[in-house]
Structure 1
């Protein structure tokens, strides 16, 4: 291999462990790799920036706007209320939940579908007297399965298709071409989840169980009007660094002081609300100048205008990962107080301010209403749902938003417009009809995913232009003994493994030039290998970090790492078997 080829291979071999084992975002890692390759002269500026002009990238971006329109109008909530209802058994409940989710995920991005369903499933499972743990992991898996049915189903399908068309326009695929394999994969996968899911899913407590009764960890006291704490600051009164609890808010003459700072001066008859363990009430009783609250009503149950209880799942991109809540000034930065933390289905005990946050921790927060909209699309949190009120009200334009999406699907399906043109027109319609505001559309764009996709193109271009892809392809052919079927199986399992460790988009885009070089060397149809890349990149069932929706349900469901292996291992093998049997039949070598 040439020097440029060796450099390209070494960069790729460095990228994957960095994405798998560090907290750096995949977009940062891949952009850094592109800058390095450009600096070393492996790729030129046009190749480095080629991903930013790819039709697949823009199709994904316009799809985000379409999904934002449905989310903002409460379109998915409307569907949830009419479909879930009250089933007779757990398996019937799974069927009612998973089939619509899989169908929706064929046309919408998986993340907003799952984000909308999680709060609804939590409430629904309580009405059924079943643990949400029995539904949340199947919910994520069903959305992944549904995404394999159409080109719209996942961003990976759109991006790989964009690469394919740029390479050879004659290989253009229709919107439903993947359904020949995707529908059987989804149907068999759903049957597996409905039949075997109840046997393989755990029966531990979920995060909602840990948070279901705020009385267990909220204590109220009052400042005695003739006591020594009047006009003293919170710090001076010794209320800043208490064991197993901290001061959440102060109610003063009917007003609420949230985000209480250390310099806040206490006034006579101030009502103080502390978060912590019930045992910590003993410590408060011993502080001179504090007396038990005279009010009979429980403070957090009051619907104050400036108070919302919010449940948030910590992302692996959160800037507080590994840091103590108090040291990082969480309340100052976000304007929200942490009432409790749940990890692995159990509430974290001890002084909450000293807890170091970990990915997928579930936080019970008290925040003002703007917090929800401000951070709903934040990189720091995977999911934000309001507990004491509807987070996403249903609006009268929900039907219109669904109609626009249906029109986009019809235009693309019948070939009247390209997928890029159809989604562009749909995004414009969503904005012009008021289904979605410009600011909501901007928030709906997942910039990390878009940057990851764009940067992946630069790395893929380096593998191809340097000749590294051809050399790796030749090595793969030797291992496969020149057999297209063995190569197909090898490609599938390689991509499936990589997508469990890094992002599915990066795995697919980087492997794509190697796959195309392999097909050209064998002088066979490249389509079986391209489709295998699409399906394998979606086969993320083994770990919670393999796919964003898995990480979203990991914390709220109180799952352990092994739970994904138990349910997802069989699903991975089953979907691989179905896909590898059908792909060569639909797209012969």
Structure 2
């Protein structure tokens, strides 16, 4: 049974890396299997989902919904990008880090994303990766700065019976952040400068237009239909009966039912207005010109991830039609309506007048452009919300009031003051995160009861017995770092914590440096954009390629890791 349990963990990791199964489904399924096999009982399983530290994490995320709507983030974002590029970058990074130490870093990046993308003084591609990295560096300095630290706190409470302090992470986190900041600021100068007038910007969106039956264009060539001399648009390919025609020659004859794929400037969509019988994703160009064009990024909470536009009734869900899609600097191939959407994809939407009133907008999208803004709190509501949150954090830091108690009181006040509504809490409740962490805690219990944890401890002790406890600590850190680059950061923390805890036990060492190795390692996602939600948020707006993250992230990751490995044992001795 012991080896079977270890095999199941390896299988879980394989599923997470492959991306074929959503993390929540994988974790819940394995926890259910452990329940059926008797590795955990029902009471133990249910207790993990009501873990006090996990409940604190959920409360914090729900309270953050009100903090996101305060004018503070928008006010700060409008005053950051002044001075020369280096000064503006440093100011943006500093503000992002400080705010992310106390607010959800996804909300911070979301608030700054629109302002950075819309301004034209500095190329957004020079700013967005530093923004994302800085939010990570700020978030890992406090207990509430990132969900990863709260996940580690949940495991610490469940396994060790004690909780981590509000600023316990700061003792190492702040020096590490400051050291890494300098390297990040230096590497930011090497990022590509995709100016608005660059060809790459003009070729960033892909617009699919269907040729209606009976159109005057049917039976005529590309040349005869004057499709070679469009203002700001270029005919890229034709999708015909399931096959692609690319490149499209001037003599190509259009047929009924063809889908014409254009690439070009979204502001030039009116160039298609003069062609009779041409519809953009099912909408006449005339209709599009009469509506607002809004650019959005698919959120990490979105239910659209993994689905195609043909799978979902997009217009009914959002009262909007998709005009174009882009994904970083990569050219999307095939019929756009059949391409599975990913977190971080940019969509250009033609929206109706009540688009903003749809309840699922905030959950699914981050706004980049357009005339729509998030509904904000009034000045008095904002002041009371921020003051209340600061009081909760302060009292928790002074150990005068447990964080859970303070957040629960604040949540009650926000509901009574109608700053938040029960309907909004239902819509934005982080069910997937709750299922992942609760299930991971149950899986950790299964590892313990099956003897797999003891076997892991023996293995780690045998592996590092000739090198000492410091080598084991380094091994746990790099295991977590490897996991966070290949699966999500929270899943990485959940998988690495049992290994780190058993390793500390095997060496008879204090578990604190190993706990911190997992916490800091799970936040060390600097190399690949797919492991962290803020990287995905900036990937398409910055028109980045994976190599941009590698070139910038490698020296950042090396500096961060070296600092963590040197400072952690000094602050938290073995």
Q: TM-score range by the shorter chain?
A: 0.7 to 0.9
TM-fit CA distance, 1:198: 1.1
TM-fit CA distance, 1:332: 5.0
Distance 1:548 1:41, change over 3 A: same
- What residue is the counterpart of 2:490 in the other structure? 505
Distance 1:355 1:206, change over 3 A: farther
Which of 54, 57, 72 is residue 51 of structure 2 equivalent to? Answer: 54
Query: Is this contact kept in 1: 2:194–2:200, CA < 8 A?
Result: no
| Distance in 2, Cα, partners of 1:331 & 1:42 | 47
TM-fit CA distance, 1:454: 1.2
- What residue is the counterpart of 1:223 in the other structure? none
Which of 456, 465, 484 is residue 481 of structure 1 equivalent to? Answer: 465
Q: Secondary structure at the match of 1:363?
A: strand
Does residue 150 (structure 1) correspond to residue 142 (structure 2)? The answer is yes
| Distance in 1, Cα, partners of 2:217 & 2:301 | 29
TM-fit CA distance, 1:460: 1.2
- What residue is the counterpart of 1:419 in the other structure? 403
- What residue is the counterpart of 1:131 in the other structure? 123
Unaligned stretches of 5+ residues in structure 2 = 226-259, 280-284
Q: TM-score, normalised by structure 2?
A: 0.82
Query: Is this contact kept in 1: 2:132–2:534, CA < 8 A?
Result: yes
Q: TM-score, normalised by structure 1?
A: 0.80
Distance 1:277 1:156, change over 3 A: closer
Distance 1:320 1:332, change over 3 A: farther
Q: What does the per-residue CA deviation read over 1:229-260, in whole Å, with 9 as the maximum and x for residues that have no partner?
A: xxxxx965559999999xxxxxxxxxxxxxxx
Which of 107, 113, 119 is residue 112 of structure 1 equivalent to? Answer: 107
Distance 1:31 1:168, change over 3 A: closer
- What residue is the counterpart of 1:434 in the other structure? 418
| Distance in 2, Cα, partners of 1:78 & 1:282 | 37
Q: How many residues are matched?
A: 525
Distance 1:177 1:355, change over 3 A: closer
Which of 90, 93, 111 is residue 88 of structure 2 equivalent to? Answer: 93
Query: Is this contact kept in 1: 2:99–2:138, CA < 8 A?
Result: yes
Does residue 84 (structure 1) correspond to residue 67 (structure 2)? The answer is no
Query: Is this contact kept in 1: 2:325–2:348, CA < 8 A?
Result: yes
| Distance in 1, Cα, partners of 2:343 & 2:144 | 29
| Distance in 2, Cα, partners of 1:420 & 1:281 | 54
| Distance in 2, Cα, partners of 1:359 & 1:162 | 27
Does residue 34 (structure 1) correspond to residue 31 (structure 2)? The answer is yes
| Distance in 1, Cα, partners of 2:217 & 2:387 | 54
Q: Secondary structure at the match of 1:340?
A: strand
Which of 59, 63, 77 is residue 66 of structure 1 equivalent to? Answer: 63
Query: Is this contact kept in 2: 1:151–1:157, CA < 8 A?
Result: yes
TM-fit CA distance, 1:206: 7.8
Q: How does 1:294-373 map to 2 (within 5 A)?
A: 307=292, 309-313=294-298, 319=304, 321=306, 323=308, 325-326=309-310, 330-331=314-315, 334-345=318-329, 352-353=336-337, 357-368=341-352, 370-372=354-356, 373=358
Distance 1:427 1:333, change over 3 A: closer
TM-fit CA distance, 1:8: 1.6
- What residue is the counterpart of 2:189 in the other structure? 198
TM-fit CA distance, 1:511: 2.4
Q: What does the per-residue CA deviation read over 1:492-536, in whole Å, with 9 as the maximum and x for residues that have no partner?
A: 000110111112222222322232222222212111101111110
Q: Secondary structure at the match of 1:311?
A: strand
| Distance in 1, Cα, partners of 2:103 & 2:555 | 26
Query: Is this contact kept in 2: 1:70–1:435, CA < 8 A?
Result: no
Unaligned stretches of 5+ residues in structure 1 = 220-233, 246-273, 291-296
Q: Secondary structure at the match of 1:344?
A: coil
Q: Secondary structure at the match of 1:364?
A: strand
Does residue 390 (structure 1) correspond to residue 373 (structure 2)? The answer is yes
Query: Is this contact kept in 2: 1:106–1:148, CA < 8 A?
Result: yes
Distance 1:320 1:152, change over 3 A: closer
Distance 1:218 1:299, change over 3 A: farther
TM-fit CA distance, 1:118: 0.7
- What residue is the counterpart of 2:360 in the other structure? 375
TM-fit CA distance, 1:406: 0.6
| Distance in 1, Cα, partners of 2:165 & 2:148 | 15
| Distance in 1, Cα, partners of 2:39 & 2:431 | 26
Deviates more, 1:360-369 or 1:278-287: 278-287
Q: What does the per-residue CA deviation read over 1:545-565, in whole Å, with 9 as the maximum and x for residues that have no partner?
A: 111111111121111111111
Does residue 574 (structure 1) correspond to residue 559 (structure 2)? The answer is yes
TM-fit CA distance, 1:213: 11
TM-fit CA distance, 1:389: 3.6
TM-fit CA distance, 1:361: 2.6
Query: Is this contact kept in 1: 2:485–2:528, CA < 8 A?
Result: yes
Distance 1:215 1:141, change over 3 A: closer
| Distance in 2, Cα, partners of 1:316 & 1:65 | 13
| Distance in 2, Cα, partners of 1:215 & 1:504 | 30
Q: Secondary structure at the match of 1:345?
A: coil
| Distance in 2, Cα, partners of 1:157 & 1:208 | 41
| Distance in 2, Cα, partners of 1:36 & 1:93 | 52
- What residue is the counterpart of 2:238 in the other structure? none
TM-fit CA distance, 1:342: 1.7
After superposition, the CA RMSD in angstroms is 3.7
